[in-house]
Amino acid sequence: MANNILLADEETHFFGDVCKNFDYAAQFTKHDAGLLDQIKSCNSVYRFRFPIRKGDGFEVIDAWRVEHSQHQSPTKGGIRYSEMVNEDEVMALAALMTYKCAIVNVPFGGAKGGIKINPKNYTVQELENITRRYTVELIKKNFIGPSIDVPAPDYGSGEREMSWIADTYATMNPGQLDAMGAVTGKPIALHGIAGRREATGRGVAIAIRECVSVAEDMKRIGLTTGISGKRVIVQGLGNVGYHSAKFLAEFGATIVGLCEFEGAIYNADGLDVEAVFQHRKSTGSILGYAGAAIEFKNSMEGLEQDCDILVPAALENQITDANVKNIKAKIIAEGANGPTSPDAETVFYAKGGLIIPDMYANAGGVTVSYFEWLKNLSHVAFGRMNRRFEETANTNLVNMVEGITGVALTPMQRSTIIKGASELELVNSGLEDTMIRSYHEIRETYSNTEKIDTLRTAAFVGAINKIAVSYKNLGVWP
CB hemisphere CA count around 168 (13 angstroms): 22
pLDDT at 4: 41
Q: What angle do CA 257, 258, 264 make, to 5 degrees?
A: 100
Q: From edge to edge, which strands make up the β-sheet containing 149-153?
A: 44-54, 57-67, 109-115, 75-81, 149-153
Q: For residue 351, indicate whether it is catalytic.
A: no
Range 383-411 burial, b when 16+ CB lie within 10 A, else e = beeebeeebeeeeeebeeeeeeeeeebee
List of residues 6+ apart from 38 with CB closer than 8 A = 471
Report the distance separating Cα 424 and Cα 443, nearest Å.
28
Q: Angle 14-26/87-103 helices, nearest 10 degrees? A: 40
Let me know the angle formed at the C-alpha of 245 by 222 and 266, rounded to the nearest 5 degrees. Answer: 75
Q: Is the previous residue joined to 74 through a cis bond, with omega within 30 degrees of 0? A: yes
Contact predicate 310/330, CB 8 Å? no
CA–CA separation, 161 and 130 (whole Å)? 10
Do the two domains 44-192 and 194-383+421-477 of this chain adopt the same fold? yes
C-beta atoms surrounding 47 within 10 Å: 12
Q: Quote the CA–CA distance of 304 and 253 in Å, as a whole number.
A: 18
How far apart, in whole angstroms, are the C-alpha atoms of residue 225 and residue 217?
A: 9
- DSSP string of 34-49, one letter each residue: HHHHHHHS-SEEEEEE
CATH topology assigned to domain 44-192: Rossmann fold (3.40.50)
Q: Does the annotation flag 20 for ligand binding?
A: no
Mention every residue, 6+ apart, whose C-beta is less than 8 A from residue 416: none
Active-site pick, 40, 112, 330, 375:
112
The pair phi, psi for residue 151, each rounded to 5°, is -70, 175
| φ/ψ (deg, to 5) at 183 | -155, 145
What is the residue-wise DSSP string for 123-182?
-HHHHHHHHHHHHHHHHHTT--BTTTEEEEE-TT--HHHHHHHHHHHHHHSTT-TTGGGG
Q: Return the domain boundaries, the chain.
A: 44-192, 194-383+421-477
Is residue 79 within 8 A of residue 161, CB to CB? The reply is yes
428 is an annotated ligand-binding site residue: no
The verdict on whether residue 69 carries a ligand-binding annotation is: no
Rounded to an integer, what distance in angstroms lies between the CA atom of residue 79 and that of residue 168?
15
Per-residue pLDDT of the chain (478 residues; tens, 9 = 90+): 334 444 444 455 889 989 999 999 999 999 999 999 999 999 999 999 999 998 889 999 999 999 999 999 999 999 999 999 999 999 999 999 999 999 999 999 999 999 999 999 999 999 999 999 999 999 999 999 999 999 999 999 999 999 999 999 999 999 999 999 999 999 999 999 999 999 999 999 999 999 999 999 999 999 999 999 999 999 999 999 999 999 999 999 999 999 999 999 999 999 999 999 999 999 999 999 999 999 999 999 999 999 999 999 988 889 999 999 999 999 999 999 889 998 999 999 999 999 999 999 999 999 999 999 999 999 999 999 999 999 999 999 999 999 999 999 999 999 999 999 999 999 999 999 999 999 999 999 999 888 899 999 999 999 999 999 999 999 988 8
Q: Could you tell me the CA-to-CA distances from 256 to 92, 242, 293, 354 in Å, in that order?
A: 32, 14, 10, 19
**Tell me, which fold does domain 194-383+421-477 have in CATH?**
Rossmann fold (3.40.50)
Q: Which residues pair with 150 in a beta bridge?
A: 76
186 annotated among ligand-binding-site residues: no
The reply to whether 454 sits in an annotated binding site is: no
CA distances from 112 to 12, 98, 124, 145, 222 (A): 18, 10, 23, 14, 38
